[in-house]
Amino acid sequence: MNYQGLADEVIAGMSINQTTADQLINISDADIFPLLVAANRLRQHYKGNRVKFCAIVNAKSGRCSENCSFCAQSAHYQTACQVYPLMTKTEMADNAKAAEKNMSATCFSIVTAGKTVHADQEIAAIGSAVETIARETNLNRCVSLGTLNSEQIKGLKTAGLKRLHHNLETAKSFFAQVCTTHTYEERLATIKLAQAEGLEICSGGIFGLGETPAQRVELAFTLRELNVNSVPINILNPVPGTPAAANHHPLSPFAVLKLIAVYRFILPAKDIGLFGGREKALGSLQPFMFIAGANVTLVGDYLTTKGQSSDKDLQMIKDLGLKIDYV
């Protein structure tokens, strides 16, 4: 396949179709470098040499009613995950300030376990933390709180929220094998509600659950249709006790790079990031995530697993000649 020619067509405004995307994600490992070079050209065209660093705080952990097969925080599984109630608004804001100061984060997300945040006082505390972050940092403000209604979204937006994170997790055709306690349609509804209120959307998925390459592509096309702003790609870092750990389908480093590159072809102008599991999934090939088309990554720790030190991340982007894109 002529990858450079395909990149030319994308830059000229053409959208690649699902058949081409399926071919791209299934190329042989021997063909991967020309694909990466073409995806890198797309990244440079749309994003220049700027990358974004997202950071998160797990503000309320564990005892979730849902049964997402990969999640250490689900009450359905026996894991060693920490369980604690919502942090105070000061703790949440202090985590954001530390992420900006110590990790050069450009975006910060307050994440809570659970299908939704029911309690008004919890939403009020999160809103108050968002207000402080908006006032005292230059961070882009994001939350990941599960299902939300429009009143809650409006209140958080008034407090200074810019972006909602709400992963679709996987393709619609595979979702029932990942979660049975809520539907794909519920996830789509929250995204559409937040878009209607004017929030940016960060939504992606987790891979290595047994989905096929065609289902990885299917998710990217759903995200394109939804016109989300940012797409986090997570690679399963299996947590003992979860069904996904017992049924892990690991992706090779090249499979991860092909996935990122194909997402860059399908969603050329969007922010695309390799988030959870990147250290284990790519190992010594981590810098190649940017060559494959990523322009965002998650710094610091993940929700329930450790990330590499931010010094290493800063050195990696410096060595690649990239710069942090401060908001």
User: Which residues are near ligand SF4 by CB under 6 A?
Assistant: 64, 66, 68, 71, 73-74, 113-115, 146
Nearer to ligand SF4, 25 or 233 (CB): 233
Q: Which of 250, 308, 313, 252 is nearest to 279 (CA)?
A: 308
Find the shortest distance in angstroms from Cβ 226 to ligand SF4. 19
Structure tokens at 11: 């830059």
Instruction: Record the tokens describing residue 205, joined without a space.
Output: 């998925």
Residue type, 144: S
295 closest CA partner among 319, 261, 266: 261
Provide the minimum distance between the beta carbon of 115 and ligand SF4 in the complex, in angstroms, as a whole number. 5
Measured from the CB atom, the residue of 66 and 211 that comes closer to ligand SF4 is: 66
Question: Is residue 203 within 8 Å of residue 191, measured between CB atoms?
Answer: yes
Q: Which is nearer to ligand SF4, 134 or 193 (CB)?
A: 193
Q: Which is nearer to ligand SF4, 74 or 152 (CB)?
A: 74
Report the nearest approach of ligand SF4 to the CB of residue 268 (Å): 28
Residue type, 214: A
Find residue 235's DSSP bridge partners: 207
Considering the complex, what minimum distance in angstroms separates the CB of residue 54 from ligand SF4? 17
Distance CA 78, CA 14 (A): 48
Between 73 and 203, whose beta carbon lies closer to ligand SF4? 73
| Residue 47 vs 187, nearer CB to ligand SF4 | 187
Taking the complex as a whole, how short is the minimal distance between the CB of residue 182 and ligand SF4, in angstroms? 7
DSSP state of 323: E
Helix (H) or strand (E) holding 90: helix 89-103
Residues with Cβ within 8 Å of 142's Cβ and at least 6 positions away in sequence, in order, are 54, 107, 108, 109, 110, 161, 162, 163, 164, 165, 202
Q: How far is the CB of 222 from ligand SF4 (least distance, A)?
A: 18
